[in-house]
Structures are given as structure tokens and as C-alpha cells.
Amino acid sequence: MSDSGSTDNSGNGKSADNSRQRVLGPDGKPLFVLVPVDEYEILANVGEAASELTRTRAALAGRLGGAPAGVARRIADGENPVRVWREFRGLKAVALARAAGISPAYLSEIETGKKDGTFRTMASVARVLGVSLDDLAPPADETGKRLRERNALVDGVRAQVRMLVDLVTGPVDFNTAAVRRTVTTLAADAVALKAQDCNPDGWLDGVLAGVRDVLDLVDKAEGDIIATAQKAQRELEDIVNQPAFQPPEHASDLAQDTAGRAAASAAE
């Protein structure tokens, strides 16, 4: 029976407009509708797209806890994403720090923007909060980023200066290789700072001048060490080449002669 009321022996029928054929069941209700292949492919694509959209919405709802608008608004207003997400999840700072394997002080520095946090640290924090690393990225702030980079370079210069002073005046043995490594890093940071027009009262000019003096002295010291070592080697060669350091031409004869004298002495 067709959906228009007509019947046939096969149980198949067509709609009244003769454009779609339907397969009817024993109760006369449609079970299948026959459509052209191109139309079927369109319908299949639409169905898949709808399913994908449903899955995406469900995933977002689960990850964001159903209230992303307030989180996004606070982050857009300049609040630190880690703090916003932590408070949204209802976690205390100590609890988040412990779960992420970092100290509360370190977490505080991240949330206040004093430190960016390493990749490993931020990955741990994101895992505990149930978000992606992208969710913890602060809004683009080039001015703030440049300021943090500049402060990091200033801290690096100061640290290298302190290390250099300790290497030269400290209780450890003087090590020219360690001094060279330190002043090389110091020079790189100082040059990078000057490139950012950061040179308060010409401080970095003095630092770079001192670096050149240190490297000159290190070169001289290492040259003297090499010259001294070479001179010592030549003198040692002269000593070990003396006849006293040379074995007899027939060492076996000497051994036999020594053994004979020992036997004769024993016989007496």
C-alpha cells in the first residue's frame, strides 16, 4: 500500500506527486523512502555536520563547566587566567599548588604576573584545572611582555655580575674557563638590554668595558699558562733524556751480571 492509499502486491508505493517512492510495512506505514543518490549524499553530509556540532558543544560544556562567559569576561578585563580558572573551579591556591607539584609562592608569582611559568609547570596547572594550555594564556599584551623580558635581562646581568665577583674574589680556586663563560653570558645580556634602549646612567657601558678587560686578562692568563706548560715540558724532556734515565743497551746482560754478583756474595 502506498502512502496515498493505493496498493500493489509488492507492498511498494509512491507518493501522490510521484516524486518519492516509499516502502510500506504490513501495517501500511512507511518504512523507507527512496531518494536519488545526490540528494542522499547531501542529507548524509548535513547529518554528519549536525552530529559534529552536537559533540563539540558537549565537549565545550564539559570542559568549561557550563559557565565560560564569566571566565572569558574576567580574563578579557586583564585578570590572570590561572587565578580566574582556579577560582572558577573553587580551588584554594595552596590546593592547586600542591596538586600541580609546585610551591604556593611560585603559584602566587604566576598569578600576579611576576613569572610566566615554565611549560611543564603550566601543563601541570592546566591538567589540574581541567583546561588546555591555550586557556591559561593571557591576552596579548606586547607592552607587558617587553617589560617582563627587560626585567628578566636586568636580573640576568645582576646575577652574572655577582657570579663573576664570586669567581674572582671567592674562596674557590681561580678558573679561567668559568670566568670566560660567565662574562660571555653577561655580555650577551648587556648587549640585549642596550638594544632595548635600557642603559640607566650608562651602567651597561661600564659593564661591557669591564667585560672586555676581563676577557683580555683571561686570554693573557691562559696564554701564560700554555707558555709555562710548554716551557715545563721542554725542561722535563731535557731531564728524562739524560743518560741516567736511559737503560743500558743490553738490559738482560745487566740483570745476569747483577744476579751473578749476588750469588758470589752469598757463597762467600
Helix (H) or strand (E) holding 34: strand 30-34
pLDDT of residue 32: 78
Does 128 share its domain with 203?
no
Strands in 30-34's sheet, in edge-to-edge order, are 12-14, 21-24, 30-34
Is residue 143 helix, strand or coil? helix
- Specify the number of domains making up the chain: 3
pLDDT of residue 145: 65
pLDDT of residue 203: 83
Does 92 share its domain with 179?
no
Does 128 share its domain with 147?
no
Does 229 share its domain with 155?
yes
pLDDT of residue 86: 92
User: If we measure between CA atoms, which residue out of 194, 200, 165, 170 comes closest to residue 182?
Assistant: 165
Taking residue 268's Cβ as centre, other Cβ atoms within 10 Å add up to 4
pLDDT of residue 34: 80
pLDDT of residue 14: 44
Q: Is 252 domain-assigned?
A: no
Q: How far apart are CA 13 and CA 205, in angstroms?
A: 95
Over residues 72-111, the pLDDT tens digits come to 778 877 788 999 999 988 999 999 999 999 999 999 999 9
Does 58 share its domain with 77?
no
Q: Is 225 domain-assigned?
A: yes
pLDDT of residue 104: 92
Range(s) of the domain holding residue 96 = 72-139
C-alpha cell at 6: 493505493
Q: Is 158 domain-assigned?
A: yes
Q: Which of 117, 139, 161 is the last residue of a domain?
A: 139
Q: Is 16 domain-assigned?
A: yes
Pairing between β-strand 21-24 and β-strand 12-14 as defined by DSSP bridges: antiparallel
Q: Is 250 domain-assigned?
A: no
Does 227 share its domain with 149?
yes
Does 147 share its domain with 234?
yes
Using 50 as the pLDDT threshold, list the residues of the chain that sit under it: 1-18, 59-67, 251, 254-255
Does 197 share its domain with 170?
yes
pLDDT of residue 253: 53
Does 147 share its domain with 235?
yes
Q: Which of 139, 164, 190 is the last residue of a domain?
A: 139
Does 153 share its domain with 200?
yes
Q: How far apart are CA 75 and CA 137, in angstroms?
A: 9
Q: Which of 88, 113, 139 is the last residue of a domain?
A: 139
Q: Is 216 domain-assigned?
A: yes
Which CATH number fits the domain that encloses residue 77?
Answer: 1.10.260.40
Does 132 share its domain with 151?
no
Q: Is 2 domain-assigned?
A: no
Does 161 share its domain with 234?
yes
Q: Is 249 domain-assigned?
A: no
